[in-house]
Amino acid sequence: MKGAIDISWVSIGLGYLILTIPFLLFRYYKLNLIKDSTIAILRMTLQLYLLGFYLEYIFKLDNIFVNITWIIIMILISVSTTIKKSKVSFKFYFIPLLSSLTFVTILTLLYFIGLMIGAEYFFNTRYLIPIVGILLGNSIQSNIIALNSFNSKLKSEYHLYLFAIANGASKYDALLPFMKHALIQALNPMIAMTAVVGLISIPGMMTGQILGGSSPFLAIKYQIVTMISVFFAKSLIIVLTLNFTNRFIFDEMGNKKI
């Protein structure tokens, strides 16, 4: 198969032009989204452009230390984005998020690259960087949903938590209803998406692979292992994040600090 047709910068410019329609709609409905959307699109362009330069460079370099540094940076950005978007305290959430994201990323990579793909060289940039990107990108959203659901339910039903611990429940047992609620809220969209993949949605990675010249069957196989890994990573990251944060946001007597 041939590689994808190159897109000219003029064509990309035309792509931006079509955004005037949603922007006009935002204005019509007075949604106050134009500024945020413009910033988001400019950021996306700049970040992807820099990523293109960077990937071009590190793919040629294929150096273990550069790759690890890049992964650490990706994890740190994921942690700070999650904290910012969940509007939680950096002091209490940084270490739990960092621990869960790092642990699950390593575990998933070992399984994905080491066992499922069986790459000869584990730190191969071609596999390592895109996979970490997919894992972290997907996990940020579900982690934000989980933290928001957990914290808002705990805030509105804190009396239920106090009632439980006052009557002898362990902190873990008292928090179980809140954990369950957060897990369901965060994982339901992923389960729904997984069920309709290939019917309604055609995943970006698969599309990219096909456009890049791979056979559709190879693209499908990669898509399956990616989705399994994302499913695994998301679920585990949420469970670990909530369990780790619960060690930080409550005092020794089980009272919420913040």
Partner 1 sequence: MIKFENIKLNFDGKIIFNDFNIEVNQGEKLVIIGDSGAGKSTIFNLILGFIKPDNGVVYINDLSVKPQNINKIRKQISYIPQNVNIPFDTAKDLFQSQFLYSKIKLPSESTIKKIFDDFNLKYDILEHQLSSLSGGEKQRVLLIASIITNKKILLWDEPTSALDQKNKDILMKYVKKMSEITILSISHDDFWINNATKVVKL
- Give residues in contact with partner 1 (CB under 8 A): 157, 159-160, 162-170, 173-174, 252-255
The DSSP result for 101-141, as a single string, is HHHHHHHHHIIIIIIII--SSTT-HHHHHHHHHHHHHHHHH
Q: How does DSSP classify residue 32?
A: S
Residue 13: half-sphere exposure toward Cβ, Cα within 13 Å: 3
Comparison of 6 and 252: residue with beta carbon closer to partner 1:
252
Comparison of 85 and 181: residue with beta carbon closer to partner 1:
181
Separation between Cα atoms, residue 21 and residue 18, nearest integer Å = 6
Comparison of 4 and 166: residue with beta carbon closer to partner 1:
166
Comparison of 69 and 170: residue with beta carbon closer to partner 1:
170
197 strand-pairing partners: 201
Comparison of 18 and 253: residue with beta carbon closer to partner 1:
253
* Least gap, CB of 144 to partner 1 (angstroms): 24
Separation between Cα atoms, residue 63 and residue 254, nearest integer Å = 47
